[in-house]
Amino acid sequence: MAIITKITTQQKNQDRYNVFMDYGKGEEFAFSVDSDVLIKFQLKKGMELDDFSFLEIQYQDDIRKAYHHAIQYLSKRMRSEKEIMDYLTKKEIDEPIINEVLYKLTSQKYIDDWEYAHAFVRTQVNTTDKGPDLIWLELKDRGIKEDFARQALQDFPYELQVEKASILARKFFEKNTKDSERIVKQKLEGLLLRKGYPFGIIQIAVNESELDKDNDAEMDAIRFQGEKVYRKYCHFSGFEYKQKMKQALYRKGFSMDLIEKFLAEKEES
């Protein structure tokens, strides 16, 4: 057996101690431990340690070090259990030690995935324009159980979803006055889908955003798009010129009546 010959406080970390031992060849540094581990095993000068005791002390100290890593990670914001597990895994901490740390943090209420899910949803609703489907995916990515996620999303009621989607729709329409109404609606639907809004909410938001342009606004849009198309096809003439102009403008979402009106206007200019 080895005998503890000296225990000193580390200069840079007053909560850790260096333990020196004599293995039969004189005193030498053996290991360092956390203050809690020192107290738990009642380590002191003259104490004898066998191999089993040494391994148990090191195991408990590894848990303490991993625990401190997790606490530091938690100090910045709330974390889910999976986030902490992933963080400790990246630090190459063994799974049994991670499990011990997670158990301790959960029992101390430092980890609470139910509360985390509700706080996460409230934060997303108050600070972003994300829809419920995207928030659901982000909760899943953070390891939140489906029933917790479902309960948390009740903090994002249907009426608020419609309101936020409608605000996005109005802003989008105001910034896209140069496109046809049909193209604006297609782009808007794509945007709201990417933001995580379900199709039913999207349809309500689009319809409530008063996207119907008056004739002057739609005519301004086809003039803007038409001039770009004209520069591409102006070297054509006759039937071929008209067909290429019609096809291009139709693909941009304009009605045939409006296209004919634009082409007639162009001929007169």
Q: Measuring CA to CA, how many Å separate 106 from each of 61, 67, 239, 248? A: 19, 12, 75, 61
Mean pLDDT of all residues in 73-98: 96
Mean pLDDT of all residues in 169-186: 85
The yes-or-no verdict on residue 261 having pLDDT over 80 is yes
Residues 246 and 263 in one domain: yes
Residues 45 and 2 in one domain: yes
Residues 3 and 45 in one domain: yes
Residue 244's domain comprises 220-268
The yes-or-no verdict on residue 215 having pLDDT over 80 is no
Phi, psi of 243 (to 5 degrees): -65, -40
**Res 222: pLDDT:** 82
* Least-confidence region, from 33-37, 58-62, 69-73, 247-251: 247-251
Residue 107 lies in a domain: yes
Residues 5 and 17 in one domain: yes
The yes-or-no verdict on residue 214 having pLDDT over 70 is no
Residues 70 and 106 in one domain: yes
**Residues counted in the chain:** 269
Residues 184 and 198 in one domain: yes
The yes-or-no verdict on residue 265 having pLDDT over 90 is no
Residue 4 lies in a domain: yes
| Residue range 101-150, pLDDT digits in tens | 999 999 999 999 999 999 999 999 999 999 999 999 999 999 999 999 99
Tell which wins on pLDDT, 70 or 257: 70
The yes-or-no verdict on residue 15 having pLDDT over 60 is yes
Q: What is the mean pLDDT of the chain?
A: 91
Residue 25 lies in a domain: yes
Tell which wins on pLDDT, 218 or 116: 116
Residues 169 and 150 in one domain: no
Residue 170 lies in a domain: yes
Half-sphere exposure of 21 (CA within 13 A, CB side): 18
* Residue pair 48/2 in contact by the 8 Å Cβ criterion: yes
Mean pLDDT of all residues in 88-109: 97
Taking the C-alpha atoms of residue 141 and residue 27, their distance in angstroms, rounded to an integer, is 51
Query: b/e map of 247-260 (b: 16 or more CB within 10 Å)?
Result: ebbeebbbeeebbe
- Structural domains counted in the chain: 5
Residue matched to tokens 């291009």: 248
Q: Any idea what the CATH number is for the domain that residue 240 is in?
A: 1.10.10
The yes-or-no verdict on residue 212 having pLDDT over 60 is no
Residues 229 and 200 in one domain: no
Residue 97 lies in a domain: yes
**Res 200: pLDDT:** 94
The yes-or-no verdict on residue 88 having pLDDT over 90 is yes
Residues 258 and 242 in one domain: yes
DSSP-assigned letters across all residues of 215-269: HHHHHHHHHHHHHHHHHHHTT--HHHHHHHHHHHHHHTT--HHHHHHHHHHHHH-
Residue 57 lies in a domain: no
Residues 226 and 185 in one domain: no
Phi, psi of 93 (to 5 degrees): -90, 135
Residue 229 lies in a domain: yes
Say what percent of the chain tops pLDDT 70.
Answer: 97
Q: Any idea what the CATH number is for the domain that residue 178 is in?
A: 1.10.10.10
Residues 103 and 129 in one domain: no
Q: How confident is the model at residue 210 (pLDDT cuts 50, 70, 90)?
A: low
Residue 27 lies in a domain: yes
Q: How confident is the model at residue 25 (pLDDT cuts 50, 70, 90)?
A: confident
